[in-house]
Amino acid sequence: MNLSVVIVHYKARDLLLECLAALAPDLSRLESETVVVDNDSRDGAPEALAARFPAVRVIANRENAGYARAVNQGIRETKGEFVLVMNPDCSPHAGAVRTLLDYLRDHPRTAIAGPCLLRADGAIEHSARGFPDPFTFLFNRYSLLTRLFPNNRFSRRYLLSDWDHLSERDVDWLSGAFLMVRRAAIAQVGGMDEAFFMFNEDVDWCRRMKLAGWANVYVPGAQVVHHVGASRTRVAPRVIFERHRGMIHYFHKHHPTNPALAALADALIMARAGVMLVGNAFKPAP
């Protein structure tokens, strides 16, 4: 088996069907298998898949197990030499899957290859970044400081904004929306850390790969449309809470420090979560 595709699905049936249709031309030329892990979506996705994509296997969870745990479920149930881990809101351009697969075959010390992610309007989504430090939450893509001072050195270092994202490059980490991963590297390093419910598990996974001596490479010759961005509509409060809880877990895991500084960082991160929860409450319902 050349390739295993693992898609974690949660209440995005139409995007999932669009995603599988976009994958089909590349997968038809490969020895592959596709598994969808459904996190208790209750949106009719398994039935729609049975009708339109009967070869796709479905793992139906009875609860929302979280993203990292669902990815690991899919990996355990597949056997391809390479694993494409992706979100259902991604639509690869023709040849993108093959480009990433060929890159990993030609570069045996690369664990993860990621594509150029594009927004629906064709703009490049800066999906390759530097590893975060304990205060990156102040200078991330959506933070107020980055919006007010986009050229500050902390945001530029983290977002790699001094680079045009048009050339191939070894990077610290790649967005988990669409990752081609070598199974041998997974066998060595392990799957995603299930202490992350959602968000930051991709950063952690890439960091563990690099610490084990593997490379993570951005391959812009593969292009994928990512149908998501900063939401203008209200999201579930749990999404905001889990994003910030993931930040705290990541920093405790990879940036151990004295308890007082750790408590300060934790408090600032949760204060940011509180501000975002208040702002979220005033957004229109989706």
Each of the 286 residues of the chain gets a pLDDT tens digit; together they read 699 999 999 989 999 999 999 999 999 999 999 999 999 888 889 999 999 999 999 999 999 999 999 999 999 999 999 999 999 999 999 999 999 999 999 999 999 999 999 999 999 998 999 998 766 655 456 555 556 556 766 677 777 778 889 999 999 999 999 999 999 999 999 999 999 988 899 999 999 999 999 999 999 999 999 997 444 567 788 878 888 888 888 888 988 877 887 788 788 788 878 878 888 787 887 6
Q: Which two tokens stand for residue 160?
A: 């790699």
pLDDT at 67: 95
| Residue found by looking up tokens 């509509």 in the block | 233
Q: Which candidate, 115, 111, 128, places its Cα nearest to that of 181?
A: 111
Strand partners, 174: 128
d(CA 251, CA 265): 9
pLDDT at 233: 62
What's the whole-model pTM score?
A: 0.89
pLDDT at 113: 98
Q: Which candidate, 79, 12, 72, 24, places its Cα nearest to that of 48?
A: 12
Element (H, E) at 37: strand 32-39
d(CA 123, CA 263): 38
Q: Which two tokens stand for residue 130?
A: 């530097």
pLDDT at 279: 83
Strand partners, 173: 129
pLDDT at 146: 53
pLDDT at 154: 67
d(CA 245, CA 39): 20
pLDDT at 229: 47
Q: Which two tokens stand for residue 115?
A: 């594509």
